[in-house]
């Protein structure tokens, strides 16, 4: 009992700087994979007490072979832009993590950052520098919400393809999303949604569509 009290007293007297020094010494003595696991665990523990609830508050390093592409992203980058992205990461490092969803099998499905993911895997100089790992932030959302997140990221960069967008709008409509939800969650105007539904040529695309007499009526109903 006395020994326990003595240890508690020592722990209470330890300063943050002392704890950090001990932690760094412990982690530094580990082999690479063990070290990465420890760093991820430390970040996750700190996130539990962090005042920030943003995904970027906890960037984990995940082995590249555990990061997979999703099946719904129509975003494409030309070879010249890929080379520029490689140059950017080569000279500046990874300044933006890859946004991903953790699957039940322990792998990660890309929500945003597929090409940052490719650079880390396909370019040997980058892959070697980051030891075969990739920087990941986790977005914990259901599939339809992840699709919306991917589209928002892509549209913000102006890289989403119209033809594939029409197919995604159809999928979201089939999933029960209303025109209001599609407009708000993926940053589209009502007329865009209607045109993309028309492109599909399928009447089920309009199963949750509410026909308005005018755009003003739509705005009045959902935004006032």
Which CA distances in Å does 97 have to 1, 23, 27, 111, 163? Answer: 48, 25, 23, 11, 28
On the CB side of 170, how many CA atoms lie within 13 Å of its CA? 18
136, part of any domain: yes
Mean pLDDT of 183-187: 71
At 160 the pLDDT is: 46
Q: By the 8 A CB rule, do 75 and 111 touch?
A: no
The domain containing residue 174 runs over which residues? 161-222
Q: By the 8 A CB rule, do 60 and 110 touch?
A: no
Q: Per-residue pLDDT for 77 more than 70?
A: no
- Tell me how far apart the alpha carbons of residues 114 and 100 are, in angstroms, rounded to a whole number: 9
Q: What is the pTM of this model?
A: 0.65
Give ∠ CA 12-13-15 in degrees, rounded to 5.
Answer: 105
- Tell me how far apart the alpha carbons of residues 17 and 49 are, in angstroms, rounded to a whole number: 18
* pLDDT bracket for residue 75 (50, 70, 90): low
Which CA distances in Å does 147 have to 53, 55, 183, 220? Answer: 21, 17, 14, 27
Considering its fold, how many domains does the chain have in total?
2
- φ and ψ of 111, to 5 deg: -100, -45
- Tell me how far apart the alpha carbons of residues 115 and 149 are, in angstroms, rounded to a whole number: 16
Domain identity same for 102 and 183: no
Domain identity same for 118 and 188: no
Domain identity same for 98 and 175: no
Domain identity same for 34 and 139: yes
68, part of any domain: yes
- Tell me how far apart the alpha carbons of residues 111 and 153 are, in angstroms, rounded to a whole number: 9
Single residue among 112, 144, 176 that ends a domain in this structure: 144
At 63 the pLDDT is: 98
Q: Compute, in degrees rounded to 10, the torsion defined by CA atoms 158, 164, 166, 171.
A: -120
* pLDDT bracket for residue 4 (50, 70, 90): very low
Single residue among 84, 109, 144 that ends a domain in this structure: 144
8, part of any domain: no
* pLDDT bracket for residue 103 (50, 70, 90): very high
123, part of any domain: yes
Mean pLDDT (the chain, rounded):
80
- φ and ψ of 76, to 5 deg: -130, 150
Domain identity same for 106 and 195: no
102, part of any domain: yes
Domain identity same for 140 and 165: no
Domain identity same for 132 and 62: yes
- Tell me how far apart the alpha carbons of residues 141 and 161 are, in angstroms, rounded to a whole number: 23
**pLDDT digits 0-9 by tens, 139-156:** 888 887 787 777 776 665
Largest CA distance in the chain: 80
Q: What CATH number did the domain enclosing 125 receive?
A: 3.90.1530.10
With H, G, I as helix, E, B as strand and everything else as coil, classify residue 102: strand
Q: Per-residue pLDDT for 14 more than 70?
A: yes
């Amino acid at each position: 009992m006395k020994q326990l009290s003595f240890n508690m007293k020592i722990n209470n007297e330890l300063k943050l700087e002392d704890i950090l020094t001990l932690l760094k010494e412990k982690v530094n003595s580990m082999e690479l994979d063990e070290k990465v696991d420890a760093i991820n665990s430390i970040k996750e523990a700190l996130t539990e007490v962090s005042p920030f609830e943003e995904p970027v508050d906890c960037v984990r390093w995940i082995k590249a072979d555990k990061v997979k592409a999703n099946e719904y992203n129509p975003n494409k980058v030309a070879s010249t832009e890929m080379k520029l992205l490689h140059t950017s990461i080569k000279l500046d490092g990874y300044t933006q993590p890859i946004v991903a969803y953790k699957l039940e099998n322990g792998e990660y499905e890309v929500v945003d950052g597929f090409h940052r993911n490719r650079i880390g895997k396909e370019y040997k100089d980058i892959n070697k520098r980051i030891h075969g790992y990739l920087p990941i932030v986790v977005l914990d959302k259901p599939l339809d919400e992840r699709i919306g997140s991917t589209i928002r990221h892509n549209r913000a960069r102006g890289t989403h393809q119209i033809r594939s967008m029409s197919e995604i709008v159809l999928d979201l409509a089939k999933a029960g999303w209303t025109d209001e939800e599609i407009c708000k969650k993926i940053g589209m105007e009502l007329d865009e949604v209607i045109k993309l539904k028309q492109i599909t040529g399928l009447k089920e695309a309009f199963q949750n569509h509410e026909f308005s007499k005018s755009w003003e009526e739509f705005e009045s109903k959902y935004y006032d």
